[in-house]
């Protein structure tokens, strides 16, 4: 038993920040960002939290699924940038869309959405749930240091959501964690205890770009190969690859190493930047909305990032 994707949806805030806008804030240029990362512009939330954006994406996914919120048995959200630890993003979404099911968050940074999908499958396999709303939602603009040109040019805000129901469309998956904070760290607010005797780090994304890049290019290739093999497929059977939108050079590299034409990779990093756990569901939803994706198509999804973590899966749409 696995799932079928019944509906998808995404939401990005209206405010567009272009590379030219950023070049007025830090020492950078459109040319550098396009060449080294592939982002032209990103969306930034002015007043919506990650859970507000999650609810907006969830409403769209529910509308496209034809299911109403009261039919949901569970809501699982992935986020690293929620306003509150409690209520969770999923808990806020439950309230906003009028659902009444168990709702909780998972955190595996940029790989979080695929970790959440895989978690959803486990509940379905135990017979605990038939319809699950799975969300990736991020307001990274509030944990980005806007004076640090090596990170602020990369990230953006947004949310994506799937409504999944029991079915036979989840063909294989792989989750990976190499715990440690030496390459990527996103410290949390340390609080104000009078007994606290540690170092308080600013709650911003720290990333060793080149080390992350090396990890990403190795994992994107090996993870896709592994899930393809596990699904009993060959790489040519894959109709689309929806990768985490972290750097277009990582996607170019994967295309060459896997010998999969670039046209099979769905790329929207130029419009939204890296939206962490929201990146894969936003890209998938946009691909579905474009009308290019057909029922029965085989799609690989893959992500990598903080944790360090990576995840990949193969679905039949
Ligand atoms: N504009 C202009 N110059 C810049 C900028 C900028 N925005 N940022 C860095 N530079 C400079 C550096 O200072 C350096 O200058 P120097 O040679 O004089 O010292 C030079 O450009 C090269 O810097 P690198 O860090 O080597 O640049 P690189 O080509 O590696 O690109 C980047 C940096 C974009 C971060 C890249 O390493 C990358 O994409 N890494 C992977 C990121 C990723 O996959 N993240 C996913 C996980 S994120 C998460 O989980 C939250």
114-139 in b/e burial notation, b at 16+ Cβ within 10 A?
bbbbbbbbebbeeeebebbbbbbbbb
Does 163 share its domain with 207?
no
Please report, for residues 120, 153, 155, 271, the alpha-carbon distance to residue 148 in angstroms, rounded to integers and kept in the order given: 37, 9, 12, 21
Does 260 share its domain with 134?
no
Does 34 share its domain with 151?
yes
What pLDDT was estimated at residue 245? 98
Does 155 share its domain with 187?
no
Tokens of 232: 């009993």
Whether pLDDT at 1 is above 60: no
Q: Ligand 1 centroid to 212 CA: how many Å?
A: 10
Residue where a domain stops, chosen among 121, 147, 168: 168
- Which residues form the domain of 203? 172-316
Whether pLDDT at 34 is above 90: yes
What pLDDT was estimated at residue 77? 98
Look at residue 203 and give its three-state secondary structure. coil
Does 22 share its domain with 99?
yes
Does 278 share its domain with 231?
yes
What pLDDT was estimated at residue 133? 98
pTM: 0.96
Which helix (H) or strand (E) segment is 50 a member of? Answer: helix 50-65
Does 246 share its domain with 163?
no
Q: Ligand 1 centroid to 209 CA: how many Å?
A: 5
| pLDDT tens digits, one per residue of 67-98 | 999 999 999 999 999 989 899 999 999 999 99
Does 139 share its domain with 216?
no
Q: Is the CB of 234 under 6 A from ligand 1?
A: no
Residue where a domain stops, chosen among 137, 168, 199: 168
**Residue for token pair 């994406």:** 57
Residue where a domain stops, chosen among 168, 185, 210: 168
Does 244 share its domain with 103?
no
Nearest CA to ligand 1 atom 10: 150
For the chain, the domain total comes to: 2
Does 210 share its domain with 89?
no
Phi, psi of 268 (to 5 degrees): -135, 20
What pLDDT was estimated at residue 188? 83
| pLDDT tens digits, one per residue of 214-238 | 999 999 999 999 999 999 999 999 9
Q: Is the CB of 153 under 6 A from ligand 1?
A: yes
């Amino acid at each position: 038993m696995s799932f079928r994707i019944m509906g998808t949806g995404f939401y990005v805030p209206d405010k567009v920040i272009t590379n030219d806008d950023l070049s007025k804030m830090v020492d950078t240029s459109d040319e550098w960002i396009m060449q080294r990362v592939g982002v032209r512009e990103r969306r930034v939330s002015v007043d919506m939290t990650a859970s507000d954006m999650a609810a907006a994406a969830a409403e769209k996914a529910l509308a496209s699924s034809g299911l109403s919120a009261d039919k949901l048995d569970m809501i699982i959200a992935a986020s690293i940038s929620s306003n509150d630890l409690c209520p969770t993003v999923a808990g806020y979404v439950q309230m906003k869309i009028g659902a009444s099911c168990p709702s909780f968050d998972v955190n595996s940074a940029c790989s979080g959405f695929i970790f959440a999908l895989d978690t959803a499958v486990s509940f379905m396999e135990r017979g605990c749930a038939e319809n699950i709303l799975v969300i990736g939602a991020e307001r990274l603009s509030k944990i980005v240091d806007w004076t640090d040109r090596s990170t602020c040019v990369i990230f953006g805000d947004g949310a994506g959501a799937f409504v999944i129901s029991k079915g036979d469309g989840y063909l294989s998956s792989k989750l990976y964690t190499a715990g440690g904070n030496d390459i990527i760290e996103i410290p949390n607010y340390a609080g104000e205890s009078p007994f606290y005797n540690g170092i308080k780090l600013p709650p911003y994304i720290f990333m060793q770009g080149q080390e992350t890049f090396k990890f990403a290019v190795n994992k994107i290739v090996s993870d896709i190969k592994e899930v393809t093999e596990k699904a009993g497929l060959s790489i040519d059977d894959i109709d689309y690859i929806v990768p985490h939108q972290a750097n277009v050079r990582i996607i170019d590299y994967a295309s060459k190493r896997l010998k999969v034409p670039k046209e099979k990779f769905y790329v929207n990093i130029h419009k939204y930047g890296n939206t962490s756990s929201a990146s894969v569901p936003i890209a998938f939803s946009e691909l579905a909305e474009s009308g290019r994706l057909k029922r029965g198509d085989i799609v690989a999804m893959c992500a990598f990032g903080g944790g360090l973590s990576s995840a990949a899966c193969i679905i039949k749409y």
